[in-house]
Each structure stands twice: as structure tokens, then as C-alpha cells.
A and B are shown apart, each in its own frame.
Chain A
Amino acid sequence: MRIIGPDEMVFGVDTLEDSKAFLRDYGLEDDGTGRFLALDGTAVTVRAKDDPDLPPPLPTNNNLRQTIWGVEDQATLDEIEAELSKDRTVNKAADGTLTCQDDAGFEIAFRITRRTELNLPPERINSPGAAPGRAANEIGADEDAPARPRTLSHIVYFVPDWEVMAKFYIERLKFVITDKFTNTGPFLRPQANDDHHVLFMIQTPPYMQGIEHLAFHMKGPTELMLAGSRMVKMGYQSFWGPGRHKFGSNWFWYFSSPMGVNIEYDADMDKHDGDWTEREAPMSPENSQMFLFENVEKWAPGGPPKGKA
């Protein structure tokens, strides 16, 4: 089943203007309709929580209203419609978008992806013993470089029963497990995406059900640090990071947002194919990251001690 990944995440909030400012400052492009786009057209959409066009809210206080999955083609949409119609109502909009609920009660939708293929340079580094990543006189540290999220990378849900949820995405939508935290849920990727994970879940009491965080891929670790540092400078609240995860290998930096959800920058995630054998580890600080840093104010050592010439 050729599902690519999350195309768009829809929120209903009571902090509309603050949420819009956050998403702009995070680096997404405001299209003027409440939709904030990454470079490839994947997006986060925010609307006032009483907007009648929004899908219904969760029974909890989480602001997520809908996860829209992007698929490769009409054949995949037809396949999904046939599969999910077996045991639930699947609605079809005029533009062909399918909407229904998953087995955990989240509002989900499927459409032919709106993402465009990106053709952009990677972060280039110079590494002794390897061919230089950058040409002579090409500078690596550009503080004024743009730092725009490239594409919606992954989403993480709080769910009351991870087994029910994982089963739905694995058995019905043919997602593949890459790695697993014991008793918490697997890291999953759909068939048309080789990223380590686009979906992960954490088991919680039912009153917490919702989205825990969502993440966008950045060009590389340097751009991630630059984007995160700018957020800190603007006064935003760092939640976790910067650091580097173990499962997925992605660099991360999470920020609290006025939508009541963490928004992550990530970079340099592992790719996998059918030859990969899943790993399993208990969820713990040790297993959650290779290392963890926190941003500090800029500082530099000088030569002589203070007050001496």
C-alpha cells in the first residue's frame, strides 16, 4: 500500500494568533488560509477551535483534529477505501479525499499527496580521509542562512492502547516496524517511505489521548541548531534538545507550542528497507538519546584574566 507519510496535521486551538506566529517563527510559510507549509508543501493547519469546518475534537483536551496521510496515487486510495470500508464508514470528498477514524478514534484522512519532490543540496561537511564536502573557499558557517523545514517527518500519538493502534496501521495499512520500545509501541514507516519512522505511539491513560509531537526534517544538524537557536533567541520554550536520538539516529530539538503540542526539528534520520531487522529496547532516558545538550547564552574565552590588559 503506497502511503508516503503525513501530508498535513490539522489543529483547532483557542490560541489562534499565537499559534500562527509560532508556526511562522518556526520557519513554515503562511499561505494565508491557516495552512503553514514546509518547502515540499506538507503542512500544519491551525483554525479557531469553534471553526465549523474542523473535524470533531477528541474527547480529551488535545487540540489535534485530523491527520491527513499522503499517498502515491489513485490506485492506493482505492485500495485504502476498499480495505477500510470493510468495517467502518469511509467518506469520500469531491476531491477524492477519504476520511474516517482509525481504531484508536483519531480522525484520519487520505489523499494523493500534495508534496512536491525536493531537489536541494544536503548539509555538506569536510571529513579527513574523505573527499571534501565543500569546495575550496566555500564557507560552512553562515549565521544568516535560511533555515526552513523541508518536509513533515513524523508524528507521535499518546494512545490508550498501543497494541490496538499499531495493529491497525500494520495490518490494515501495511506499515512496517523498524524498531520498538518495549510495552510502548513501535516505530513505524509506511511502504512508500524509507525513513526510520513517520509514526510512533506512547501508551498513556485515555484522558491524555492526542498528539504528543510532530516533527519536520531540516537540511542537516547545522540547520537544526541554527533554527533552534533562533527560536530560543525569540523567547520560545525549548522542551528537549538539541540531541541525537538512538532509534532513527535523527538529531532533535523540541519546542513547546501554543497549540499545546511539542514541535520538533529533526535532521539526518536513518533509512531502511526490507532487509532491516527490528531492534527492541526499554524506553528510558539512556535509550532515548545518544547525547543531550541545552542551549546556553553565547560566551567566549579571552586571553588575559578579567581587568588585565
Chain B
Amino acid sequence: MTAPRALCRLDEIADGGAVGLCPDARGRATVVAVRRGEVVHAWRNLCPHQDRVRLGWRRDAFMNGEGTHLMCAAHGALFRPEDGICTSGPCIGDALNRVHVTVENGVVLGQPEDLPAEAVA
């Protein structure tokens, strides 16, 4: 296994919030990371409903208004942050693809081979 890569600091994600990580060559986040206390869940930034469609509506704006779910703003699909399962919307029952991350010493780490190929940073 290759050495883990630092993706961001834990304190760069508001507790309960989400940020976009691992930008592609055009600066678009390929990974979405949600924080729940000291735990971070990371997901490929692609909606299972339609290929090419990214979650959210604005840079780092990925959560529904109540802050309970990740949202695909194209058609309103909601995903549970913990297991990525779509609980309402077009792709109900489908799940986001997990990107494995760990938190060590306040840093969110990912395995390079597990990160989207199109991510440049």
C-alpha cells in the first residue's frame, strides 16, 4: 500500500457540514467529504442517477437545508452521509461510491490508489 495522502485538515470541515476535495484539472471537486464529529465520510462526487452529474449546487454547498443529507441539486436526490444511500429522489436505494478516508492527528487522509483518477490534487 502506498503512503496515504493528506486531503484536508479536519477543522476545514464544519461539524455536520461537507466540503469538496480532490479537484480535477478544471478545479471541480471529485470527492465530497462530510464530517460527523471526529468522523469523516467521503464519497465520489457523482450522482448515481445520471453519469457526469455532480452533487451540490455551489462550491462546498452539498447539504440539504436541514443539514441531514447530502443533496444532488440537479433533481433533489438526498443521500445519508454515513452510508451514502439515496433515501429519496430519482436514485432511491442506490448509493454513492465511498472513498476510504481516515483521520489522524486532525488530518483527513486518503489512499492515492482509491482516489478518483481525474483528481490532480
Contacts and interface: CB of A to CB of B under 8 A. Distances in A.
Interface stretch (A9-17, A110-118, A274-282): A9-17
Contacts of B59: 235
B75 A296 contact: no
B103 interface: no
Interface string B80-93: 00000000111010
Given A16-B65, A237-B57, A262 B74 contact: yes
B88 A258 contact: no
Interface string A233-259: 011110100000000000000011111
Contacts of B65: 13-16, 18, 258
B17 interface: no
B71 interface: yes
Contacts of B60: 235
A256 B74 CA distance: 5
Given A61-B88, A297-B27, A258 B57 contact: yes
A22 interface: yes
A259 B74 CA distance: 9
Nearest to B89: A61
Interface in B4-56: 26-27, 53-54, 56
Nearest to A204: B90
Contact of B90 (A13, A16, A208, A234): A208
Interface residues of A, number: 31
Contacts of A212: 75
Nearest to B62: A237
Contacts of B89: 61, 208, 260
The main secondary structure of chain A at its interface with chain B is loop
B102 interface: no
A291 interface: no
B76 A255 contact: no
A145 B36 CA distance: 44
A70 interface: no
A68 to B, nearest CB: 21
A228 interface: no
A62 B89 CA distance: 8
Nearest to B53: A239
Nearest to A62: B76
B61 to A, nearest CB: 7
B76 A61 contact: yes
Interface of A: 13-16, 18, 22, 61-63, 158, 204, 207-208, 210, 212, 234-237, 239, 255-262, 294, 296-297
Given A61-B76, A62-B76, A258-B65, 7 more contacts: A13-B65, A14-B65, A239-B74, A257-B73, A258-B73, A260-B71, A260-B75
Interface of B: 26-27, 53-54, 56-61, 64-66, 71-76, 78, 88-90, 92
What 3 A-B pairs have minimum CB-CB distances, sorted nearest first? A260-B76, A14-B65, A235-B59
27 contacts: A13-B65, A15-B64, A18-B65, A22-B57, A22-B58, A61-B76, A61-B88, A62-B76, A63-B76, A208-B75, A210-B76, A236-B57, A236-B58, A237-B56, A237-B58, A256-B53, A256-B73, A257-B57, A258-B73, A259-B76, A260-B74, A260-B76, A260-B89, A261-B74, A261-B75, A261-B76, A297-B27
